[in-house]
Amino acid sequence: MLEKEIIQENGFRNVRQNGQVVGFQVRYRSCYYRSVWLSMSLGFDVSVDGETFPRDRISVTVGGRTYTQEQMKTTTEVQWPISEAAILTVSKPGGLKPGLHEVEVGWGHAASYMPMEMANMPRRPQSPTVGAAMRGMMPFTEKRKIVLVA
């Protein structure tokens, strides 16, 4: 099962290739009540301790397959299930130091049954008073302090 928090602590780790740390991963679950087609995702943004990473350095793994954010835009037959945290892999040579980090993830999605264009909306922290049905509806940012061990 998923952690109640949107940004998941389990899975926060550095990524190694050929013995070199090439980046890190963080898992992010949808807080929207509906699974969405990858093409309707409006993209993921990641910052750690104030350092923001461009989208072309953030890939997304869903259902065991990894997509660039450009590839997601044309992937109309695959859903990001609400039962599964997306794994965000961020390219960062050397990775992150073990310890507590403040991780911020921004995400938004298109909704056919809502009249507005979500892509044009700024991503802001989600209001604590936003109602249950609206959570994850508007583009928003989420922040959490989590520990990276290795």
Q: Is 64 in the site for another protein (CB under 8 A)?
A: no
Considering only the stretches 43-51, 75-83, 92-100, 141-149, report the one whose residues sit in contact with another protein under the rule CB under 8 A: 75-83
Residue 29: other Cβ atoms inside 10 A: 21
Residue 144 Cα distances to 8, 21, 53, 70, 147, angstroms: 9, 23, 17, 26, 10
- CA distances 33 to 36, 65, 96, 135, 137, Å, are 10, 22, 32, 8, 9
The verdict on 113 binding another protein (CB under 8 A) reads yes
- Judged by CB, which is closer to another protein: 52, or 83? 83
Region from 51-59, 93-101, 122-130, 141-149 binding another protein, contact rule CB under 8 A: 122-130
Q: Which residues bind another protein (CB under 8 A)?
A: 1-4, 29, 33-37, 39-40, 74, 76, 79, 81-83, 110-119, 121, 127-135, 137-138
